[in-house]
Structure 1
């Protein structure tokens, strides 16, 4: 059928050129002038094949039913009879604590974290309590015993690193922040562990908005689920008034929330100017080790006030007395929009953490004009998540490659996008797929195997930074030539040595450099024989973190004296 469609497509192009579709005509001219590749004809061929054989094409591609049925992607796990418990509740309700108690008491268990910081926290907590635990993230592997030859029975990992092959079966698994299953960028990672994690007992922790979709999926594969609901442990009070735009009204234990990196540093300077308190900062671009350092300074009152982005929404234990929204708008995909009620509640709920020094949490706004909006967001009923995210696996791509030999990866991804037929429980994470298409297209002429291209397409890259994407291309080019990717190339990629940090712009350079070292370590975890200098990457990270930490500390004695005077 596919060969027949190809014959018809070739005949139509030869007979109708140049009176064919103007877009196809343009591509053909570019191919003739060596400005484009013949691979760029593939979408036109696929449209032709679908118009001639619409049913047959899908039937051939979906003949084993795997593409349309994600549960069948994990056949070994389907042989298990798993039991699920969903712990549903708001922030600071004790839901995760209950699941972790079961995790630590199990003989063999895995914890799946949304962030490296949380994976590290559970790793440290387990080992401190005498429960030997290993840690696995995209960039790092640690062993509770200190030796890879003695793996522990407990593992704390980021959700993307959980093993769903079905070869190793756990007694208990914990999947944290389960509502992320509906996220358009990362939701597929939660769907993957929901369907594929080989554990006899699986505990999910998250918001109530994901309960219905999880129940639908679990029951659809013939497994049982129990839902436990939790209420917030300490009250959260929405204050009547805002701060009236006055920085002087900020007090120890306050966290001022903004959604722009530049705003955060401007606000930090203003808070310190008008209050005399040193101000901690937390935002997404800050390396996780620094976020933990800043959080510790805030909790220990060395920096009694914090300015943060929505990065505080998960993964940090903060002793916040009051959340103050500097803004209720954030940029998403280049456009400014009002916060969702889910995000507003997640952030506001960080105030009044259980077992902190405060007996309740408070939330307000910095400007009076935002107060009515915030009150509406916090009182609004949240919409339930309807579908779980899905993305393409390497195994599916390899099956497509058998049907379309010599077809480059970015075109195979387009096939997947065009012919996938999920039921109503699932949606395609187009954001992730677009990133994979972009990277695989950029690397298409390097002679990389499909497996290697797939690996590079999943690499953690800041797509908004030319420096980061160029570093990925440098690493891939060296790798494709069969040369070891050395610490020397890593230094070149980050422009080492970097200039000293004298302003926010200098700090940004260090943040991007840290992201590139993370990328190198991520690739080392998957191809250690080619990315051969992880030690160099870690030493560079230590230098970068040290420099950035120094730039965020109070510098003058007068500032410290004033801080102590006002705080006391």
Structure 2
């Protein structure tokens, strides 16, 4: 669900302006939800003396599937929006909402319950008014039922009531914490001051969104002579006298008090898949001082969440250290590539395709995409930084966790598959990627371009767009084992699938401040895990194992491993032999994920998965094979194809403060 940018290539600026003006006049925005465009509207109604705000998609507010909408010009889009949303449509919507809110207030007054949580259901900008009215009535009905529920039902509700979720982190809840939000765009220096304070503290923890970032700042603390351990889902480097920990955010230890904590990329609070980890970190990290690093649009969400969990808050807003400029014209041709450029595509296939085309122009290329392990991505980035390669071709994986100081970022497209359809990327993503251009002290000005005229125009519009603040309610929460055990005890339910569904249903109906995280993958795994004779704790752990159900080899391995656990047997680790040919790279990437999953399980069930050290070793050797294969492909293509254009020599980017000679050894 995203808020799209209106930048059709065929419409005139006047037509685009007219559409934007109409939307602004009628307090509306365009959104995409479930593969369709819709108009989302804001306003308020009066119910007695109470003012009730709303932010919804009217029942007639859908404008068509993404593909159909993209074929319309700006004038046709304006006409369709005017048909769907006008004064009469607003009257119909508000009459519908008044009926709903009136029913809520009548029940609230009759049974003396607070209607606010039910009325808050009318604020959900991506959802239909009809469905939110139903939810509002469900919520008030649940509130009314609570007063007359039987003791067993009351016990069940209490077991899964998350109104006291922050207080469940007892150590943090008992501390007087001071939060420092350091907010700004890419290349604004957010990380520097926080890491300096962390390194000087007697004890501390750094929480990263990616293993790659955890590894990078683990090394940063080591270089500052800090006794630090690295703890991620798949990897441990434990210092016997560690005062600090660098870890992924999911690995937070809420029972170890520290002086300073740094939580990176705080705007991921709004991520339905992983945002629950950031909610837990803010609620549960037991530190006297907590740094929250991220984008400016997270400011209101941070203020709301810190107010709820308690503590003092200081906000520091930073500006970009070096200017970022849009090129006057698109790149137009790969013959215009220069050393220090980064090409952006949005799929593995397209990255490898553009890589081959860049090589045909005589360029040496680093390839970076999400399916590569962190070690390979880092190795490819270091080749670029050290001047072994001249350009990078990558996906949005370079937008977070990789130091790839580019002279210029070039978007090969402005569209990306969102799970439903191909659509324009979000402005926040465009800005994050574009922000990689320029680096203070290396490239004083960063430049951004599109490859073709259409892409250039759309990216320029995205970079000018003002980002909407993150919501100040609706923080994602996922159940931990303790919550599931409480639900099981209260309800008598033992199946993991049912417990997860109870958890999600309860938050939807009863609490407007917290929302259930996306548990769909976990529930899918729970369906077959419930068929095995495993205790709840084991089924829960297997359901969390980071294995994609879209890769048959990995899903089968996870099922085999779970069966070994159920039978009390040790799970063997097979050394996967490489395949030659065109699928060799894909096979190695999937194999690396398999070893990673085994390592993840070995830290949690070592008696069943005793070969964790071997898995780590195989992960490393397979990553080295992938990196070497990418380099072989790079060299082979350059030897096979005569460059059509000899690229102008530009000194490749250097690490700040690092000499121009001497490679940093890879690990």
Scaled to the shorter chain, the TM-score interval is 0.7 to 0.9
Q: 1:102 aligns with which of 171, 176, 197?
A: 197
Q: Which residue of 1 aligns with 2:635?
A: 555
Q: Matches of 2:637 and 2:562 in 1, distance apart?
A: 48
Instruction: Establish whether residue 543 from structure 1 lines up as the match of residue 621 from structure 2.
Output: yes
Q: Classify 1:543/1:220 alpha carbon distance in 2 versus 1 (closer, same or farther; 3 Å).
A: closer
Q: Which residue of 1 aligns with 2:516?
A: 428
Instruction: Establish whether residue 89 from structure 1 lines up as the match of residue 89 from structure 2.
Output: no
CA shift at 1:462, angstroms? 1.4
Instruction: Establish whether residue 156 from structure 1 lines up as the match of residue 246 from structure 2.
Output: yes
> Contact (CA 8 Å) 2:338, 2:647: kept in 1 or not?
no
Instruction: Establish whether residue 364 from structure 1 lines up as the match of residue 444 from structure 2.
Output: no
> Contact (CA 8 Å) 2:159, 2:486: kept in 1 or not?
no
Q: 1:379 aligns with which of 464, 467, 475?
A: 464
Q: Matches of 2:191 and 2:526 in 1, distance apart?
A: 38
Q: Which residue of 2 aligns with 1:137?
A: 232
State the SS of the aligned residue for 1:296. helix
Q: Which residue of 2 aligns with 1:521?
A: 599
Q: Matches of 2:562 and 2:154 in 1, distance apart?
A: 36
Describe the superposition over 1:374-404 as per-residue Cα deviations: whole angstroms up to 9, x where unpaired.
Answer: 1111111111111321111211110110123
Q: Matches of 1:241 and 1:464 in 2, distance apart?
A: 40
Instruction: Establish whether residue 506 from structure 1 lines up as the match of residue 587 from structure 2.
Output: no
Q: 1:452 aligns with which of 538, 553, 563?
A: 538
Q: Matches of 1:349 and 1:509 in 2, distance apart?
A: 33
Q: Which residue of 1 aligns with 2:359?
A: 272
State the SS of the aligned residue for 1:555. helix
Unaligned runs of 5+ in 2: 1-140, 650-667
Q: Which residue of 1 aligns with 2:15?
A: none
Q: Which residue of 2 aligns with 1:298?
A: 384
Describe the superposition over 1:423-468 as per-residue Cα deviations: whole angstroms up to 9, x where unpaired.
Answer: 4433221x2x111111111111111111111111111011221111
Q: Matches of 2:423 and 2:544 in 1, distance apart?
A: 28
CA shift at 1:66, angstroms? 4.3
Q: Which residue of 2 aligns with 1:236?
A: 324
Q: Classify 1:565/1:383 alpha carbon distance in 2 versus 1 (closer, same or farther; 3 Å).
A: closer
Describe the superposition over 1:114-134 as per-residue Cα deviations: whole angstroms up to 9, x where unpaired.
Answer: 111111111111112212211
Q: CA RMSD in A?
A: 2.3
Q: Which residue of 1 aligns with 2:483?
A: 396
Q: Which residue of 2 aligns with 1:323?
A: 409
Q: Matches of 1:127 and 1:545 in 2, distance apart?
A: 23
Q: Matches of 1:407 and 1:157 in 2, distance apart?
A: 32
TM-score (norm 2): 0.72
Q: 1:249 aligns with which of 336, 342, 345?
A: 336
Q: Classify 1:229/1:410 alpha carbon distance in 2 versus 1 (closer, same or farther; 3 Å).
A: same
Q: Which residue of 2 aligns with 1:226?
A: 314
Q: Which residue of 2 aligns with 1:34?
A: none
Q: Which residue of 2 aligns with 1:18?
A: none
Q: Matches of 1:351 and 1:340 in 2, distance apart?
A: 18
Q: Classify 1:547/1:220 alpha carbon distance in 2 versus 1 (closer, same or farther; 3 Å).
A: closer
Q: Matches of 1:516 and 1:536 in 2, distance apart?
A: 12
Q: Matches of 1:51 and 1:427 in 2, distance apart?
A: 17
Q: Which residue of 1 aligns with 2:503?
A: 416
Describe the superposition over 1:29-63 as per-residue Cα deviations: whole angstroms up to 9, x where unpaired.
Answer: xxxxxxxxxxxxxxxxxxxx989967627643233
CA shift at 1:142, angstroms? 0.6
CA shift at 1:422, angstroms? 5.7
> Contact (CA 8 Å) 2:209, 2:265: kept in 1 or not?
yes
Q: Classify 1:64/1:511 alpha carbon distance in 2 versus 1 (closer, same or farther; 3 Å).
A: closer
Q: 1:213 aligns with which of 295, 301, 307?
A: 301
State the SS of the aligned residue for 2:158. coil
CA shift at 1:558, angstroms? 6.9
Q: Classify 1:125/1:222 alpha carbon distance in 2 versus 1 (closer, same or farther; 3 Å).
A: closer
State the SS of the aligned residue for 1:191. helix
Does 101-110 or 118-127 show the bigger shift?
118-127
Q: Which residue of 1 aligns with 2:261?
A: 173
Instruction: Establish whether residue 202 from structure 1 lines up as the match of residue 290 from structure 2.
Output: yes
Q: Which residue of 2 aligns with 1:437?
A: 523
Q: Matches of 1:521 and 1:472 in 2, distance apart?
A: 12
Q: Matches of 1:436 and 1:101 in 2, distance apart?
A: 38
Q: 1:530 aligns with which of 608, 617, 634?
A: 608
> Contact (CA 8 Å) 1:85, 1:204: kept in 2 or not?
yes
State the SS of the aligned residue for 2:181. strand
Q: Matches of 2:349 and 2:637 in 1, distance apart?
A: 26
> Contact (CA 8 Å) 1:341, 1:382: kept in 2 or not?
yes
Describe the superposition over 1:259-283 as per-residue Cα deviations: whole angstroms up to 9, x where unpaired.
Answer: 011111111101110x201111111
> Contact (CA 8 Å) 1:69, 1:422: kept in 2 or not?
no
State the SS of the aligned residue for 1:63. helix
Q: Which residue of 2 aligns with 1:68?
A: 163
Q: Matches of 1:54 and 1:62 in 2, distance apart?
A: 9
Q: Classify 1:393/1:303 alpha carbon distance in 2 versus 1 (closer, same or farther; 3 Å).
A: same
> Contact (CA 8 Å) 2:376, 2:624: kept in 1 or not?
no
> Contact (CA 8 Å) 1:277, 1:562: kept in 2 or not?
no
Q: Matches of 2:621 and 2:579 in 1, distance apart?
A: 12
CA shift at 1:565, angstroms? 7.0
Q: Classify 1:72/1:193 alpha carbon distance in 2 versus 1 (closer, same or farther; 3 Å).
A: same
Q: Matches of 2:432 and 2:494 in 1, distance apart?
A: 44
Q: 1:477 aligns with which of 559, 563, 566?
A: 563
Unaligned runs of 5+ in 1: 1-48, 145-149
TM-score (norm 1): 0.84
Q: Matches of 2:276 and 2:451 in 1, distance apart?
A: 36
CA shift at 1:209, angstroms? 1.1
Q: Classify 1:230/1:525 alpha carbon distance in 2 versus 1 (closer, same or farther; 3 Å).
A: same
